[in-house]
């Protein structure tokens, strides 16, 4: 299942290359988009949540011109046992 997560852009960075331990093949690391979201609590207080979302390197250019504070939308894949334990992963 794919979902879109909208938040305030904080940073984007490329992870380093990594080597498959079995094959020895070297792979390019993912690009990570860091965003912040405001979550209103039941008592009216605001909690800031922060997410590091890995995306395919082919989508990196979508965030090249973004500045801290820009509102961005990131396409994500979610997985987990139930919606109380969602984990964010790369969109496929």
pLDDT tens figures, 60-88 = 899 999 999 999 998 887 766 555 555 66
Full residue range of the structural domain in which residue 22 is found? 2-90
Contact 82, 75 (CB under 8 A): no
51 CB-near residues (< 8 Å, 6+ apart): 5, 7, 34, 35, 36, 37, 88
- For residue 72, the SS3 value is strand
The answer on pLDDT for 89 being more than 70 is no
Q: Assign residue 80 a region (left: φ > 0; alpha: ψ between -120 and 50; beta: otherwise).
A: left
Could you report the per-residue pLDDT of 20-30, keeping only the tens digit for each?
A: 899 999 988 88
CATH of residue 31: 2.40.50
Q: How many domains does the chain have?
A: 1
Write down the mean pLDDT value for the chain.
Answer: 86
Which region among 1-5, 29-33, 37-41, 50-54 has the lowest average model confidence (pLDDT)?
A: 1-5
From 48, 18, 16, select the one nearest 35 (Cα to Cα). Answer: 48
Model pTM? 0.74
Contact 68, 46 (CB under 8 A): no
The answer on pLDDT for 56 being more than 70 is yes
Token look-up 């938040």 returns: 7
């Amino acid at each position: 299942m794919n979902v879109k997560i909208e938040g305030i852009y904080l940073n984007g960075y490329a992870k380093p290359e990594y080597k498959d331990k079995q094959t020895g093949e070297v792979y390019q690391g993912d690009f990570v988009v860091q965003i912040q979201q405001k979550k209103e609590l039941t008592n009216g207080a605001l909690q800031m949540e922060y997410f590091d979302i890995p995306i395919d390197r082919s989508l990196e250019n979508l965030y090249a011109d973004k500045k801290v504070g820009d509102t961005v939308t990131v396409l994500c894949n979610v997985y987990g046992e139930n919606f109380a334990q969602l984990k964010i992963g790369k969109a496929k």
